[in-house]
Chain A
Amino acid sequence: MKCKRCKATAAVALPSHHAGFCEECYDLFFTRQVEKGIRRQKLLTFEDRVLVALSGGKDSLALMLVLSKLGYNVTGLHIDLAIPGSSPVARGVVERFCHKHGFKLIVKEMAEEGLAIPLVKARLNRPVCSACGKIKRYFFNKTALDEGYTVLATGHNLDDEIARLFSNTLRWDIAYLSDQGPALPAEGGFARKIKPLYRLSEFETANYSFLQGIEYHYAPCPYSQGASFTQYKKLWADLEDQMPGRKLDFYLGFLERGKEIFARHEQTHGDQLQPCERCGYPTSAEVCGVCRIREAVSRDDG
């Protein structure tokens, strides 16, 4: 296979784009897709102070690197979940990456917050993934607001967004469908949140990370077995193999034609958010999910 741009031997084949790219031209392709996504959805300006959530995986590290190369003002944020075996490795990867590239890094340790994920898992009577996600989003938001960042960026890619959209559609979760997308505005106690990799699949970010020489953490979370999103991703991988381009079509079609309908319904019928009685985080209940998790953890500690 030849590179579509320069006719050298291709290193990456992208059936969804009817193209292959050599190493150099792939860098250009990837960067242009991020730029296009930022421009089309008005995600960022060069005046923004961007806080990038860094898990240590290929997507978040790739995002940090490409935003930096594009000239954006980026700082990394890593949430150390205190999961034995996994968290120290992920944190090490993030710290080495930021040190190598001279990026500023903020680390929040959940053990110090009394929210180490193994402890939370032991106290809950349900899979810990939902609580872990709540906790991460809480500290992403809090750190962005406390430290004066104008926007929080996460490394969610097209496959993540498709799995989420599929999950929300299976449940007809109107609230989630009404605001799923690459950008959430700053309002009601929430920092502005963006997903600049939304046009790019996991395969594409993995290729970019590899070609850029990014050392990334690729072992799965030890608590993630049976996670539904992994199943959804497999279904969509099968579909995309048969019908290249279907993923991007589905997602962009939702943004252009579907989301607005759910947003209008939610404006009229949806729950209103108010500040948590204890911490001020926006919530539809009186006490937010993280405060309730803290209560459950401390209650069982006696």
Chain B
Amino acid sequence: MTEQRSRYGTTVELQPSGKRLELPYVKSVLQLLNKVGARRGTVLVIRDGKLLTPDRKLFPGDEIIVRTVVSAG
């Protein structure tokens, strides 16, 4: 994750692509999934090395990994 990050928004790293997004503050994991266009049950959502369920709240400055679980070959 970059040293420069938004202290007020949500930083997201998509895996496996490695694409990074800086989003305005997102309140929950479910909102985040809607923002990045990912279905529950198709991605792991990770914060500070811990898994988050869709109902979990996010906080300003959070750095989140969204890792797709669907294997492709």
Contact = CB atoms under 8 A, between A and B. Distances in A.
A116 interface: no
Contact of A202 (B50, B54, B70): B70
Interface stretch (A94-102, A188-196, A232-240): A232-240
Interface stretch (A70-78, A144-152, A214-222, A257-265): A214-222
Given A11-B53, A13-B53, A218-B15, A203 B71 contact: no
Interface in A151-177: 159
B23 interface: no
Interface residues of B, number: 22
B37 interface: no
A201 interface: yes
A235 to B, nearest CB: 12
B41 A241 contact: yes
B36 to A, nearest CB: 15
Interface SS of A by simple majority: helix
Interface of A: 1, 10-13, 15, 20, 23, 57-59, 129, 159, 201-203, 205-207, 210-211, 218-221, 223-224, 227, 230, 233-234, 237-238, 240-241
Interface of B: 15-16, 39-42, 44, 46, 50-56, 67-73
